[in-house]
Every structure is written in structure tokens, then in C-alpha cells.
């Protein structure tokens, strides 16, 4: 998958959890990613984060730490 | 595997179908005496029905128990002690203590007289009549002992009749009408009509179309279609009138051609998620006709044109009956034996896993195939390939339902049965077009609307439901595509801020912290309809009225379809819908609920059976060790704890070079999935694509192995409809390809297991597969074929706690405990209209065609829809200089195609609409790869497009057709 598409998908997830009440929004993103993203996709996201994670929603960046 | 004794092997599934003359009633018990025998029936029951329950069939012509009594033929007259005259038993309700006589000299004489009159205007060609043996007029002549007709026409002419084209002097008979055989499936032969009005009532009461009337009076009266013929009329070819007609007047063409059937077997329609039960009426192994089964609990004896008539594809010449293989997709296909095809496929798959890793191959299960077949396909990837790469076309339709309802209620299950709609007072239909997509449900809904229930439609397009004859109050919220969440939230805002919510229900049944958060969120003025109007295009006042109608209207039910799910915020809208139902207390009893209208016949079942890459059967996440253990113990393998790839992810991974092989059962992803070019690129990048289907579908253009499939008439199994109802599918003929589809999957699994040295599968009947499902999946624990035989069908959960199944969900509490309100913020899709693509395209389907059309295009249904057209508002058309019927170019950032324009104000300015039934149109060349945030369900319903005049098919379409032609070549056998 292109990084662009991955960023879009991850940010969409973050946008949802970003609107949810409570302080565990990044945890929500991380849990969602773990439940629904296949290891290859998670690996791609981690690589991308390692490379700076440009354009990623901060919640994704935060979630990335627990992946 | 233990041996199964299958006592129902020859079962036809048919239970009592006696026509009791008038519909069942539900009043208090009333006791009366008929012909000296006592009977107790509910108040409101007719004398005719009461007699029938005693086993006494009063002669009748104009009555049938699918219709309210009409009382026109007088054949059903009875005598009642203490009452004068001979009242019609069909229109006379029972009274306590009534004493009825159904057979007296007086009645016999009267009935003979009635029959004599009928027969005097009826051609006496019974021996060669198409209804011979299946004609109630004939039966009644026998029942009343008619032995002669006194009113014979004088030889010189003079007695008028309807059945002779010319009189004896050769003059044209003005009363005679030629047969109308304009409808592809049935004829109307007026010369045989007895004007009993059953067809007219069936069209009104059962179907709700009101296409027929009786014109004229007395001798001149006849059935009229209000147009030149049936085809040109409002008739939607549901066949209800044909079924109701007691004579050969309205008759299936197949019966005219083949004669009457000699046996019937109950089975389930393989088209939409309504899941209508049918009797397949057979002569030997030839299907004569499909008749909706009266005891079918989803359809109650009704059907639509697809299920009743569009079965011709099953025997269409395009069907592929032999396995085929090829090394590369530019080669022609080579027909080979099953052994060769399977071993070719197995070697390739195993080789790919060796070379590219365990996760480099996967499967796509079919929502058209049975539960048992789907279960085996996901088992193939989990137990044989050793990964979770399984997905189903439900990905592209109702995956957000699973997520959204799971989060709020604790289960993705729709909450009601279809009967529930008979008790609804206000029905909200969101993003669904039931008259076309779920026609039998639409008929049942329309009946309720005629009885006074209110209707709220949330849809960009003015759907036919809004034009229901004789309905009452209706609201249409014609929103801009992509703004569902804003509209649903605005409805919630009105209900909460105007204090219309159900405090008691919320306090008792819902999580109060979540409610408080939600309440604070939704009360914010930014959700007020006045604020959202500019965005959604729905006038604030219209929205407020609809919200009030829903909250104050009594039993409120929500039905929704793909117009909700197929959006980047599909899952959020589903949650918003669940919020609306909870805040108004519309959950947990009959007449209310949240009801996803599932697209295909077995979408529900394919999801239940663990088709999703993150869930084992019964919606249990693969990460849970206790669930994996159940299957590990049963299958004797280890199960991958990580979620697998979803369809769009598989295609992405294929383009990236890490996903190489696919077994695709009964799906045509190339035509049905969005962004065709991307799908094609993904398929082209794979080294082994196995297509298992009836036809060389579009996906097969990129396949290396083709395994021929069997039609629903050729297999045993079960389908689960949108109400969670598990219905039996019964084999009425041998598979033309040699194997039922579950057998093909087993053969493939065993071919792979032979390569890898695993233990072969040994199922001998789908009942054994269902037994394995029941043993591993708690919500199916009580389901087995014997139970289905006895009860006809059951709705899951069916287990120890619910031995008869579960028509209503969440009755005493939500599956997750407390219902959870979820904040639903509107987030605009990335797909926006702009200067280059100023219009929004939304897609849908129509009644006569079904999805990608692989089946319906191979039937005469194409007389109603032979091409996809683009609906465009007159204003947008004028700006572009388009006239009705012009070829137009439709372009998005993904691609372009051409089709013809249809100018209509059903769509709002700024919105265009088309269907995706025809491969030449390829509407999905246009759709983008944006998808639902939670589930990757593609955003079919919003694409920014431009429309401009064009001269004909685009270059891409022509290239595509050339490529398709090339790849469909089959090498001549030597
Ligand atoms: S086929 Fe259906 S719609 Fe057509 S006239 Fe008969 S009942 Fe009405
Ligand atoms: S067409 Fe058939 S059902 Fe209709 S009025 Fe004539 S006989 Fe009765
Ligand atoms: S397509 Fe749907 S409504 Fe029509 S007969 Fe089949 S199941 Fe029933
Ligand atoms: S059956 Fe009762 S009047 Fe016709």
C-alpha cells in the first residue's frame, strides 16, 4: 500500500477516536489498529513512523509507541 | 467423523398449505358449530376459515387466504340457523353459538347455478388448457357436481361471450381480447377470466403496486392494466396476481410450455437478504416454476420478480461445467479433469507459500454461497493455509454494521424479524431502497404504511417508497451524499434538546456515563439542524418535523442499507442510528429496532461463519486464546492469532508483491469492488488466482484456475437472511458441474493437504458441517438439520437458552449488558467536489437486476433494464447541454466511463446516480479507494465526478472489452 493511503487510513481512525470523550484516545487508536490491521500493515506503519511519520495525526504517532 | 443417519434426506420441507379461504385473525376465542361439529376460533375469523379448520372446504372462487374476503362469486354460500338467506361464508365472521350448514339441497342448487353461469362464458377446452389439473374453476365444477350448462349460445349467435374470437359467421367478437404475452414470464388470456378480482387484490394487498383494476361493470367488467399491456404498465412482475389467479388467465409461460409440475421442494431464494422461501416445482429434474412458499416466515407467500422468475441463469449456456487451467492469463483456457485442475492449483498454492511465506495467499468467501460452504472456505485458510487471510464481499457492504452495532449493542445482529414491521408506527428508512433492493420487505412495509404508519426517508434520491399508493404522512430528508452523520446527529440533537428522549429506558438499559457524555455532545448548538442545513442540504424545519415524528410516533423502527455503510464514516452512522434507537427506547420489543437490510442472500451468514480476517465463526476475535482453542481442538491445527488481510488490503499487498495467491468463491471482485483499475492491478500481480463460479466472470479474466460452481438448485445447505433466519436450501437437481460447491472446497483442501501431508477432510453432507458449526459456535449450538426440518427455520441465537431461536434481540438487556451511546462527530470525507469534479455520484441498484448482474443479465429480466444509465437533474443536464438518452462521459479522479443519461428530478441538483449491473458500464472504474475508517468498507456512495457529452463508449471501455474477450477464450478440445 502506498504510504499516502496508509497515512489517510490511520488518520481516519485517529479522527474518530480524537472525538471520543475520555483521556485514552491514543489507546483507542492502538487497540483498533491491533484488532484490524494485518501485521504487514502495522509493520509498514512502524517503518513510516521510524522515518519521521510525516502527516500522521499525533494520536497515531502516540499509538505507534505501543504497537 | 461419526456417521450421520440422515432421515430427512428425501425431505421436501413442505408443511400444511391448505388454502383456508380468508386470512388468520387474532381475536378472542369464539365457539360455533359447523355441520354439527364444534370449533373454537379467534373472533374475526370467517365462517369459511372456521369450516376449513374442521376439514370442511366450502366451495369458493373469489376467496383465497392470502387476501381479505371480497364476496363476489357467491359460491361459498352457507345456511345459518336463525338467519335468512344464504350468506357468503367468506365475508361472514363467526359468532358465538352460531350453527352453520355448508351442504344443503338449497345450497347445492344455488352453487350449481352459480357455476353454470360462470361456465357459460368460459371456453370448454380444459383438456388442452395450460391450467389443466391446476385450475380452481375446474375443481369447483367438480365439487358442486356440475353436469351440464343450460345457457348454450344459439348456433346463430346472439349470446355474448368473451372467449370466441369470431362468431360462427366469422364476424369479429368485440368482447374478445387477444392474449397479452408482453411480460416475459407470464401471459394474460382474458378469454379465461372469471373476474374474481383476486389478481387486483393481490396486486394491492400483497404487492402494494396497484397496477391492476377492474374496468367496466357486469358482463363488461374485465381486468385492466392501465397501459397498452403488462410490460408497459406499472406492473413490477412480482407474480402475486399469477399466483392468486384461480384459472389459466394469468399463467406462467413455463407452465404453458412444460405442463404442470409433479413434485415440489421447499428452498430459499439465492438473490437478496430477504431470504424468501420458495417451492421449487419440478418435473423430474426440470424446474417448472418457483412458487413462494406460504409457510416461509420471511416472505409469507410473496416474492419478487427475481426469486420467482429469474432462475434461468442456472441452466444458461454460458455456464462453465468443466474445470479449466492456464499458466498465464494471456493464454486461452484449457479444459482439464478435476484431478488435474485441483493438483495444479494445490501445487501452485503450496509453492507460493514456500516461496513468499505462509501469509502470501488467502481466500474470499461468498455471500451467495451457503453457510456450510462459507465455513469451509474460511476453514481452508485458517486450518490449511495457516493464516487469517479470509474476507467476504460483506466487506464492501455491511462490515460497518458489524463494527457499529457491536460497539453500541454488543452484537452486529439486526434486532427484529420481518413480521415486526406490522407493528411499527413510524418507520425510518436510511440509505436503502427497499422496493428495488428488498422488494418483499418493501411490500410488507407498504402494507403497514397504508394502514397509517408514518414514513421518514433519509436518502439523496426520491426513492419509490415515497410514492407508495395510499400511504399517509411521509418525510423526505434529501441529504447531500456523504452527510449521513451530520443528519443523524441533527435528528439526535432535536430529540435531546426538545426533551423527546425516553429517560426511563435510558436509565434502565444504558450506560449512564456514556449517555451523559453523549448528551452533552449532541446538545451542542453545532448539531442543530439550522446549523447543519448548509452542509447537508436538508431544510431545518423538515428535519425537526421528522425527528419529532420519530420520537413521538409510537413504535419507531429504523431500516437501513448500503447508503449508510458505504461511506468513509459508515461505522459512525451505524452508531448514530443505534444512538437514535436507544434514546427513544425503540429497542427490545416488537415493532421497533435497528434493522440492517442485508444485500445478498447470505451476507448475514457469511459474516456469522467467520469470513472476516479478524473473527472466527460467531464474531469472536482471533486474538482470544480461549476461542482459538475451541477451533484448534476441533481442527487439530494451530490458529494464527493475528488478524489477516481484508479485500482491499489483499489487493494492496498484491501490488506490493507480498500477496500472491487467492481462492475466490462466488464473488466477482473485479466488477463489484471499487476502483477497478486498482483491483485489476492487484489481481494481475498475483501468481495464482482461483475463481470458483458459475460463469467466467470479470475476475476470471485474471484467473489461472477456474473451478465450475453449482447453482442453489443443485445443493444442500442453509442461507441466513437479514433477520438472522436460517433457512434450508434443498437440492432439486444434480449439480451440472458434478459437485456441490462445498465438495469443491473440500477437494481443493484435500489436494493441498496431499501436498503438505495433512489429514484429509471427510465431510459427506452439509449437515455434518452444520454440526461442526453448532459444536464450535455458541449462538448456533441448537441448530441442526433435524431442527430446521421440524421448525422450517430458526433465527439465531438458537441454543439452550433459546431453543426456538430469537426473533427479537435485546429484550431484557443488551448483549453487551448496558447499551452504549457513542459520540458521533461529523467528519467530511476526503472525497470532495470541486472545480474539476463538481458533481457527487452515488450508486445503487434496481429491482430487476441483481448486483453485478451475473445472474439476472442471463435471464429475461433484462427487458426491464438492459443498460446502466446516469440519472442527472434537469438543471445540471441543461448546464451541460445534455438531452435525455445522450451518451455522456462520467469521469472521476480514478477513471472514466461512458453511459447514457436519464434526466430526472429524482436526484437533487449536484447529485448524479447510477447502477452497477452491467460490466460494459463499469461504474466502479469511477469509484475511488476511499473507505470506512473502521472497516475499510469502500466509499461507493460518494464520488466527485464530472459529466460531459460524449460520442459513445470510452477508449478504456473498448480496451477492457477487448482484453476480456481475449482472456475468455477456451481452447478447443483436441
Ligand atoms: S405481477 Fe405483481 S405488480 Fe404485476 S400486476 Fe401482478 S401483482 Fe401487480
Ligand atoms: S385474471 Fe384471474 S384472478 Fe384476475 S379476475 Fe381474472 S380469473 Fe380472477
Ligand atoms: S430477491 Fe429477495 S425479495 Fe425477491 S424473491 Fe428473492 S429473497 Fe425474496
Ligand atoms: S368465495 Fe366467498 S363469495 Fe367468492
Q: Tens digits of per-residue pLDDT, B664-690? A: 998 888 877 777 888 899 999 999 999
Chain A to chain B, count of Cβ pairs less than 8 Å apart? 64
Q: How many beta carbons lie within 10 A of that of residue B762, not counting itself?
A: 9
User: Hey, which bits of B588-697 come out as E strands?
Assistant: 593-596, 615-616, 620-621, 661-665, 688-693
User: Ligand 1 pocket test: which of B212, B306, B440 has the largest number of ligand atoms within 8 Å of its C-beta?
Assistant: B212
Kindly give the distance from the C-alpha atom of residue B245 to the centroid of ligand 4, in angstroms, as a whole number.
Answer: 14
Least-confidence region, from B664-678, B904-918, B928-942: B928-942
Kindly give the distance from the C-alpha atom of residue B356 to the centroid of ligand 4, in angstroms, as a whole number.
Answer: 73
The distance of A27 to chain B (nearest Cα, Å) reads 15
Residue nearest to atom 3 of ligand 1 (CA): B235
Q: Which pLDDT band, with edges at 50, 70 and 90, does B312 fall under?
A: confident
Distance of CA B362 to the CA centre of its chain: 28
Task: Please choose, from the candidates B724, B722, B763, the residue with its C-alpha nearest in 3D space to the C-alpha of residue B618.
Answer: B724
Q: Interior CA angle at B64 toward B61 and B67, to 5°?
A: 125
Query: Ligand 1 in contact with B707 (CB < 6 A)?
Result: no
Residue nearest to atom 3 of ligand 2 (CA): B245
Task: Please choose, from the candidates B74, B61, B66, the residue with its C-alpha nearest in 3D space to the C-alpha of residue B197.
Answer: B61
CA distance B733 to B728: 15
Report whether the peptide linkage leading into residue B797 is cis, meaning its omega lies within 30 degrees of zero.
yes
pTM flag (> 0.80): yes
Give the model's pLDDT for residue B834.
74
Atom of ligand 1 nearest to the CA of B239: 1
| Grid coordinates given for B965 | 474477450
Q: Which pLDDT band, with edges at 50, 70 and 90, does B70 fall under?
A: very high
B178 or B243, which is more confident?
B243
Q: Is CATH 3.40.228.10 the right assignment for the domain spanning B400-596?
A: yes
Q: Which CATH class is domain B839-967?
A: mainly beta
CB contact under 8 A, A12 and B933: yes
Atom of ligand 3 nearest to the CA of B438: 3
B622 touches chain A (CB under 8 A): no
User: Hey, which bits of B301-443 come out as E strands?
Assistant: 324-325, 334-335, 361-365, 390-392, 426-430
Cα Rg for chain B, rounded, in angstroms? 29
Q: Which pLDDT band, with edges at 50, 70 and 90, does B768 fall under?
A: very high
Residue nearest to atom 6 of ligand 2 (CA): B193
Backbone angles phi, psi at B691, to 5 degrees: -105, 130
Is residue B791 predicted with pLDDT exceeding 90? no
N- to C-terminal Cα separation, chain B: 42
Residues contacting B432, CB < 8 A, separation 6+: B438, B459, B559, B560, B561, B562, B563, B564, B597
Q: Which pLDDT band, with edges at 50, 70 and 90, does B8 fall under?
A: very low
Atom of ligand 2 nearest to the CA of B188: 1
* Strand B896-903, strand B869-872: pairing: parallel
Give the model's pLDDT for residue B854.
66
* Strand B277-283, strand B263-268: pairing: antiparallel
* Annotated domain spans of chain A: 3-64
User: Ligand 3 pocket test: which of B300, B306, B850 has the largest number of ligand atoms within 8 Å of its C-beta?
Assistant: B306
Q: How many beta carbons lie within 10 A of that of residue B235, not counting itself?
A: 24
CA distance B89 to B698: 58
Q: Interior CA angle at B927 toward B921 and B931, to 5°?
A: 150
A55 touches chain B (CB under 8 A): no
Ordered DSSP codes for B800-834: SS-TT--SSSSSSSBTTBSB----------S----
Is residue B158 predicted with pLDDT exceeding 60? no
CA distance B765 to B376: 12
Give the model's pLDDT for residue B2.
41
Give the model's pLDDT for residue B581.
94
Report which bound ligand comes closest to the CA of B70: 4
Asked if B307 and B314 count as a contact pair (C-beta separation under 8 A), the reply is no
State the DSSP H helix or E strand holding residue B708, giving kind and residue range, or none if neither. strand B705-708
Is residue B135 predicted with pLDDT exceeding 60? yes
Q: Tens digits of per-residue pLDDT, B504-528? A: 999 998 999 999 999 999 999 999 9
B360 touches chain A (CB under 8 A): no
Is residue B63 predicted with pLDDT exceeding 90? yes
Is residue B446 predicted with pLDDT exceeding 50? yes
Least-confidence region, from B225-229, B448-452, B498-502, B760-764: B225-229
Distance of CA B858 to the CA centre of its chain: 18
A4 touches chain B (CB under 8 A): no
SS3 B580: helix
CB contact under 8 A, B825 and A19: yes
CA distance B47 to B52: 9
Asked if B601 and B270 count as a contact pair (C-beta separation under 8 A), the reply is yes
A39 touches chain B (CB under 8 A): yes
> What is the percent of chain A where pLDDT is above 90?
39
Find the residue in A nearest to B936 (Cα). Answer: A9
- ipTM higher than 0.90? yes
The distance of B526 to chain A (nearest Cα, Å) reads 14
3-class DSSP string for B176-234: CCCCECCCCCEEECHHHCCCCCHHHHHHHHHHCCCCCEEECCHHHCEEECCCCCCCCCC
CB contact under 8 A, A19 and B658: no
Q: Which pLDDT band, with edges at 50, 70 and 90, does B208 fall under?
A: very high
Q: Tens digits of per-residue pLDDT, B864-901? A: 777 788 999 999 999 899 999 889 988 888 888 888 89
Asked if B876 and B912 count as a contact pair (C-beta separation under 8 A), the reply is yes
Q: Interior CA angle at B692 toward B686 and B693, to 5°?
A: 125
The distance of B93 to chain A (nearest Cα, Å) reads 59
Is residue B227 predicted with pLDDT exceeding 70? yes
CA distance B404 to B408: 6
The chain-wide mean pLDDT, for chain B, equals 88
Task: Please choose, from the candidates B277, B268, B279, the residue with its C-alpha nearest in 3D space to the C-alpha of residue B296.
Answer: B277
Q: Which CATH class is domain B1-103?
A: alpha beta
| Residue that has been written with the C-alpha cell 373454537 in this structure | B40
Least-confidence region, from B387-391, B717-721, B754-758, B958-962: B958-962
Atom of ligand 4 nearest to the CA of B62: 4
Task: Please choose, from the candidates B279, B222, B220, the residue with its C-alpha nearest in 3D space to the C-alpha of residue B252.
Answer: B279
Ordered DSSP codes for B564-576: HHSSTTHHHHHHH
Give the model's pLDDT for residue B849.
63
Q: For residue B211, give Cα distances in angstroms to B302, B304, B435, B833, B862.
A: 16, 15, 15, 40, 20
Beta-bridge partners for B454: B426
Atom of ligand 2 nearest to the CA of B196: 8
B624 touches chain A (CB under 8 A): no
N- to C-terminal Cα separation, chain A: 19
Least-confidence region, from B47-51, B56-60, B426-430, B808-812: B808-812
| Residue that has been written with the C-alpha cell 419507531 in this structure | B556
> What is the percent of chain B where pLDDT is above 70?
96
Ordered DSSP codes for B827-887: ---S----SSS-EEEEEE--SSS-TT-TTGGGSGGGGT-SS-EEEE-HHHHHHTT--TT-E
Which of B389, B568, B929 has the CB atom closest to A12's CB atom? B568
Query: Ligand 1 in contact with B241 (CB < 6 A)?
Result: yes
Average pLDDT over residues B934-951: 82
CA distance B766 to B144: 48
Is residue A9 predicted with pLDDT exceeding 80? yes
CB contact under 8 A, A5 and B929: yes
CA distance A31 to B861: 47
The distance of B404 to chain A (nearest Cα, Å) reads 12
SS3 B533: helix
Q: What is the DSSP letter of B429?
A: E
* Annotated domain spans of chain B: 1-103, 324-397+603-795, 400-596, 839-967
Pocket of ligand 3 (CB under 6 A): B 269, 271-272, 274-276, 299, 303-304, 306-307, 439-440
Characterize B895-913 residue by residue with b for buried, 16 or more Cβ atoms within 10 angstroms of its Cβ, and e for exposed: bbbbbbbbbbebbbebbbb
CA distance B488 to B582: 13
* Strand B263-268, strand B839-844: pairing: unpaired
Q: For residue B860, give Cα distances in angstroms to B212, B524, B857.
A: 22, 54, 7
Task: Please choose, from the candidates B286, B283, B291, the residue with its C-alpha nearest in 3D space to the C-alpha of residue B245.
Answer: B291
B718 touches chain A (CB under 8 A): no
CA distance B141 to B594: 50
Q: What is the DSSP letter of B479?
A: P
Which of B359, B652, B933 has the CB atom closest to A15's CB atom? B933
**CATH architecture classification, B324-397+603-795:** 3-Layer(aba) Sandwich (3.40)
Query: Ligand 1 in contact with B249 (CB < 6 A)?
Result: no
SS3 B705: strand
| Residue that has been written with the C-alpha cell 406490522 in this structure | B422
CA distance B781 to B800: 7
Residues contacting A24, CB < 8 A, separation 6+: none
| Residue that has been written with the C-alpha cell 521510524 in this structure | A50
Give the model's pLDDT for residue B159.
58
Q: Which pLDDT band, with edges at 50, 70 and 90, does B4 fall under?
A: very low
User: Hey, which bits of B873-971 come out as E strands?
Assistant: 887-891, 896-903, 911-915, 943-949
Q: Which pLDDT band, with edges at 50, 70 and 90, does B710 fall under?
A: very high
User: Hey, which bits of B241-329 come out as E strands?
Assistant: 250-252, 263-268, 277-283, 286-292, 324-325
Asked if B745 and B769 count as a contact pair (C-beta separation under 8 A), the reply is no
Average pLDDT over residues B382-388: 94
The distance of B414 to chain A (nearest Cα, Å) reads 22
Is residue B762 predicted with pLDDT exceeding 90? yes
Helix pair B484-497, B529-536: axis angle to 10 deg: 170
B557 touches chain A (CB under 8 A): no
Q: Which pLDDT band, with edges at 50, 70 and 90, does B396 fall under?
A: low
| Residue that has been written with the C-alpha cell 372456521 in this structure | B50
Amino acid at each position: 500500500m502506498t504510504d499516502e493511503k496508509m497515512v489517510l487510513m490511520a488518520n481516519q481512525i485517529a479522527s474518530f477516536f480524537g472525538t471520543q470523550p475520555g483521556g485514552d484516545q491514543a489507546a483507542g487508536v492502538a487497540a483498533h489498529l491491533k484488532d484490524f490491521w494485518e501485521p504487514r500493515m502495522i509493520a509498514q506503519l512502524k517503518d513510516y513512523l521510524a522515518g519521521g511519520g510525516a502527516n500522521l495525526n499525533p494520536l497515531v504517532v502516540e499509538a505507534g509507541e505501543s504497537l | 467423523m461419526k456417521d450421520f443417519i440422515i432421515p430427512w434426506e428425501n425431505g421436501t420441507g413442505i408443511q400444511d398449505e391448505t388454502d383456508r379461504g380468508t386470512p388468520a385473525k387474532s381475536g378472542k376465542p369464539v365457539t360455533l358449530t359447523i355441520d354439527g361439529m364444534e370449533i373454537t376460533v379467534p373472533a374475526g375469523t370467517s365462517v369459511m376459515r372456521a369450516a376449513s379448520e374442521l376439514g370442511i372446504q366450502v366451495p369458493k372462487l373469489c376467496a383465497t387466504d392470502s387476501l381479505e374476503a371480497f364476496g363476489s362469486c357467491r359460491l361459498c354460500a352457507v345456511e345459518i340457523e336463525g338467519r335468512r338467506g344464504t350468506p357468503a361464508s367468506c365475508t361472514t365472521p363467526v359468532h358465538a353459538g352460531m350453527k352453520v350448514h355448508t351442504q344443503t339441497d338449497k345450497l347445492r342448487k344455488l352453487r350449481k347455478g352459480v357455476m353454470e353461469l360462470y361456465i357459460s362464458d368460459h371456453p370448454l377446452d380444459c383438456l388442452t388448457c395450460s391450467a389443466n389439473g391446476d385450475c380452481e374453476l375446474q375443481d369447483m365444477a367438480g365439487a358442486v357436481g356440475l353436469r351440464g350448462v343450460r345457457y348454450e349460445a344459439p348456433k346463430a349467435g346472439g349470446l355474448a361471450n368473451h372467449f370466441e374470437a369470431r362468431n360462427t359467421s366469422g364476424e369479429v367478437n368485440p368482447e374478445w381480447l387477444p392474449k397479452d404475452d408482453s411480460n416475459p414470464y407470464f401471459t394474460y388470456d382474458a378469454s379465461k377470466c372469471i373476474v374474481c378480482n383476486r389478481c387486483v387484490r393481490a396486486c394491492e394487498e400483497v404487492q402494494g403496486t396497484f397496477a391492476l383494476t377492474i374496468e367496466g361493470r357486469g358482463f363488461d367488467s374485465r381486468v385492466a392494466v392501465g397501459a397498452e399491456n403488462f410490460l408497459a404498465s406499472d406492473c413490477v412482475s412480482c407474480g402475486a396476481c399469477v399466483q392468486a389467479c384461480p384459472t389459466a388467465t394469468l399463467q406462467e409461460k413455463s407452465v404453458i410450455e412444460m405442463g404442470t409440475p409433479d413434485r415440489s421442494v421447499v428452498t430459499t431464494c439465492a438473490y437478496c437478504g430477504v431470504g424468501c422461501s420458495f417451492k421449487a416445482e419440478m418435473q423430474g429434474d426440470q424446474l417448472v416454476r418457483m412458487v413462494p412458499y406460504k409457510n416461509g416466515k420471511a416472505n409469507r407467500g410473496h416474492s419478487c420478480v427475481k426469486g420467482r422468475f429469474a432462475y434461468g441463469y442456472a441452466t444458461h449456456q454460458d455456464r462453465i461445467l468443466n474445470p479449466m487451467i492456464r499458466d498465464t492469463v494471456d493464454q486461452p483456457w484449457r479444459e482439464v479433469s478435476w484431478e488435474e485442475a485441483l493438483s495444479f492449483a494445490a501445487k501452485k498454492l503450496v509453492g507460493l507459500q514456500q516461496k513468499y511465506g505462509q501469509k502470501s495467499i488467502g481466500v474470499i468467501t461468498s455471500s451467495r454461497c451457503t453457510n456450510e460452504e462459507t465455513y469451509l472456505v474460511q476453514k481452508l485458510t485458517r486450518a490449511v493455509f495457516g493464516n487469517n487471510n479470509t474476507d467476504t464481499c460483506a466487506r464492501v457492504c455491511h462490515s460497518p454494521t458489524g463494527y457499529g452495532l457491536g460497539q453500541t449493542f454488543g452484537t452486529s445482529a439486526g434486532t427484529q424479524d420481518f413480521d415486526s414491521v406490522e407493528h411499527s408506527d413510524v418507520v425510518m428508512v436510511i440509505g436503502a431502497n427497499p422496493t428495488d433492493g428488498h422488494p418483499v420487505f418493501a411490500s410488507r412495509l407498504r402494507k403497514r404504511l397504508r394502514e397509517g404508519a408514518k414514513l421518514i426517508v433519509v436518502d439523496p434520491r426520491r426513492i419509490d417508497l415515497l410514492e407508495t399508493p395510499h400511504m399517509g404522512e411521509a418525510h423526505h430528508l434529501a441529504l447531500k451524499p456523504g452527510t449521513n452523520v451530520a443528519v443523524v446527529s441533527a435528528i439526535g440533537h432535536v430529540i435531546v434538546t426538545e426533551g423527546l428522549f425516553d429517560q426511563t429506558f435510558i436509565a434502565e438499559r444504558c450506560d449512564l456515563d456514556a449517555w451523559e457524555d453523549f448528551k452533552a455532545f449532541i446538545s451542542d448548538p453545532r448539531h442543530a439542524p439550522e446549523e447543519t442545513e448548509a452542509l447537508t442540504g436538508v431544510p431545518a424545519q423538515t428535519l425537526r418535523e421528522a425527528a419529532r415524528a420519530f420520537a413521538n410516533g409510537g413504535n419507531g423502527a429504523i431500516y437501513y442499507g448500503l447508503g449508510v455503510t458505504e461511506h468513509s464514516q459508515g461505522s459512525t452512522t451505524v452508531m448514530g442510528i443505534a444512538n437514535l434507537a436507544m434514546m427513544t427506547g425503540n429497542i427490545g420489543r416488537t415493532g421497533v429496532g435497528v434493522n440492517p437490510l442485508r444485500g445478498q442472500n447470505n451476507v448475514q451468514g457469511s459474516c456469522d461463519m467467520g469470513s472476516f480476517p479478524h473473527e472466527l465463526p460467531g464474531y469472536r476475535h482471533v486474538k482470544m486464546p480461549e476461542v482459538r482453542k475451541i477451533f484448534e481442538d476441533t481442527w487439530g491445527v494451530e490458529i494464527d492469532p493475528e488478524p489477516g488481510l481484508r479485500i482491499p488490503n489483499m489487493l494492496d499487498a498484491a501490488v506490493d508483491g507480498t500477496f500472491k495467491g487467492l481462492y475466490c468463491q462466488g464473488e466477482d471482485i473485479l466488477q463489484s469492488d471499487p476502483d477497478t483499475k486498482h483491483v485489476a492491478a492487484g489481481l494481475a500481480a498475483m501468481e495464482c488466482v482461483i475463481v470458483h463460479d458459475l460463469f467466467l466472470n470479470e475476475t476470471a479474466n485474471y484467473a489461472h484456475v477456474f473451478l465450475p460452481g453449482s447453482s442453489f438448485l443443485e445443493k444442500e445447505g442453509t442461507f441466513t437472511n437479514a433477520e438472522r433466519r436460517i433457512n434450508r436450501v434443498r437440492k432439486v437437481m444434480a449439480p451440472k458441474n458434478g459437485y456441490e460447491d462445498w465438495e469443491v472446497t473440500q477437494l481443493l483442501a484435500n489436494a493441498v493437504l496431499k501436498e503438505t501431508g495433512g489429514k484429509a477432510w471427510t465431510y459427506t453432507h452439509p449437515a455434518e458441517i452444520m454440526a461442526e458449526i453448532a459444536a464450535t459456535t455458541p449462538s448456533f449450538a441448537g441448530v441442526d438439520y433435524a431442527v430446521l426440518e421440524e421448525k422450517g427455520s430458526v433465527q439465531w441465537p438458537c441454543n439452550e437458552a433459546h431453543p426456538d431461536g430469537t426473533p427479537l434481540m435485546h429484550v431484557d438487556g443488551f448483549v453487551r449488558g448496558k447499551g452504549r451511546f457513542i459520540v458521533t462527530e461529523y467528519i467530511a470525507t476526503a472525497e470532495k467536489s470541486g472545480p474539476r469534479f463538481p458533481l457527487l455520484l452515488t450508486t445503487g441498484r434496481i429491482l430487476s437486476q441483481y448486483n453485478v448482474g451475473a445472474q439476472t443479465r442471463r435471464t429475461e429480466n433484462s427487458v426491464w433494464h438492459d443498460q446502466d444509465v446516469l440519472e442527472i437533474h434537469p438543471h445540471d443536464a441543461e448546464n451541460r447541454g445534455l438531452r435525455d438518452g445522450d451518451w455522456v462521459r462520467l469521469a472521476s479522479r480514478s477513471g472514466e466511463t461512458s453511459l447514457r443519461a436519464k434526466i430526472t428530478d429524482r436526484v437533487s441538483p449536484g447529485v448524479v446516480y447510477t447502477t452497477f449491473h452491467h460490466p460494459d458500464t463499469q461504474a466502479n472504474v469511477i469509484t475511488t479507494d476511499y473507505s470506512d475508517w473502521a472497516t475499510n468498507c469502500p466509499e461507493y456512495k460518494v464520488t466527485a465526478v464530472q459529466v460531459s457529452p460524449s460520442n459513445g463508449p470510452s477508449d478504456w471501455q473498448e480496451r477492457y472489452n477487448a482484453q476480456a474477450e481475449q482472456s475468455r477464450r477456451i481452447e478447443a478440445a483436441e
